[in-house]
Amino acid sequence: MTDRIAPRGIGALLALALVAGGMAACGTDEPGQDAKAPLQIWIRKPPGSPTEQTAKDLAAKFTAASGVPTQVTALFEDFETKLQQAAAQKQLPDIVINDTAQLGSLVKQGLVREVDRAGLAGSGDLSPIAWDAAKGADGKHYAVPFSAQSFALFIRSDWREKVGAEAPTSWEELDKLAVQFTKEDPDGNGKADTYGYVIPGSTKRGYTSWYATSFLWSAGGDFLTGEPGKFTTAVNSPQAVEAVDHLKGQFCTDKTVVPGAITMETTQAHQVFESGKGGIYFTGPYNMARFDKALGKEKYEVVALPAGPGGKASSLAEGENVYLMAGSKNEDGQKKFAEYAVSTEGQTVGMAGDTAGNIVRLPVNSTVQLANVRQDARWQVFDEIYKTAGRYTPAVPDWTPFRQSSADAMNAIFADCASDTKATLDKLAETFTAELTKQEVKG
- DSSP at 235: T
Q: Is the pTM of this model over 0.85?
A: yes
Same domain, yes or no, for 412 and 336?
no
Query: Does the residue 3 lie in any domain?
Result: no
Q: Which of 353, 375, 391 lies at the terminal end of a domain, its last residue?
A: 391
Residue 75 lies in a domain: yes
92 lies in the same domain as 140: yes
Q: What are phi and psi of 347, to 5 degrees?
A: -65, -40
> Residue 285: which of 417, 421, 151 has the closest Cα?
151
Q: Do 290 and 387 fall into the same domain?
A: no
CA distance 226 to 443: 7
Rounded average pLDDT over 222-234:
95
In the structure, what pLDDT confidence band is assigned to residue 24 with cuts at 50, 70 and 90?
very low
Identify whether 329 is part of a domain.
yes
Which residues have CB under 8 Å from 293's CB, separation 6+? none
Residue of 318, 360, 369 whose CA lies nearest to 43: 360
- Domain with 231 in it: what CATH number? 3.40.190.10
Whether the CB-CB separation of 341 and 146 falls below 8 Å is answered with yes
Note whether 407 and 341 are same-domain residues.
no
Is the pLDDT score of 165 beyond 80? yes
State residue 9's pLDDT score. 42
Domain that holds residue 88: 11-149+317-391
Residue scoring higher pLDDT (392 or 26): 392
| Same-domain check for residues 306 and 256 | yes
Same domain membership, residue 334 and residue 292:
no
- The pLDDT of 282-304, averaged and rounded, is 96
In the structure, how many helices (H) and strands (E) does the chain have? 17, 14
- Averaged over 201-216, what is the pLDDT? 96
User: Is position 185 within any domain?
Assistant: yes
User: Which of residues 312 and 280 earns the better pLDDT score?
Assistant: 280
Q: Are residues 159 and 131 in the same domain?
A: no
Kindly state whether residues 253 and 379 are assigned to the same domain.
no
Q: What residues contact 95, with CB distance under 8 A and at least 6 apart? A: 39, 40, 41, 42, 322, 323, 324, 325, 334, 337, 338
Residue 225 lies in a domain: yes
Instruction: Say yes or no: 174 and 134 in one domain.
Output: no
**Backbone dihedral angles phi then psi of residue 181, each to the nearest 5 degrees:** -65, -30
* Shared domain check, 433 and 299: yes
pLDDT tens-place string over residues 358-405: 999 999 999 999 999 999 999 999 999 999 999 999 999 999 999 999
Per-residue pLDDT at 310: 84
Q: Which of residues 375, 391, 407 is at a domain's end?
A: 391
Most confident of 17-21, 101-105, 121-125, 226-230: 121-125
pLDDT at 36: 93
pLDDT at residue 435, rounded to an integer: 98
In a domain, 6, yes or no: no
Domain count, the chain: 2
Residues 386 and 250 in one domain: no
- Euclidean distance between CA atoms 245 and 241, whole angstroms: 6
Whether 329 and 142 have beta carbons less than 8 Å apart is answered as no
Q: What is the pLDDT of residue 26?
A: 39
Domain assignment present for residue 2? The answer is: no
- Note whether residue 281 is domain-resident: yes
Q: Note whether 222 and 296 are same-domain residues.
A: yes
What is d(CA 280, CA 259) in angstroms, rounded to the nearest whole number?
14
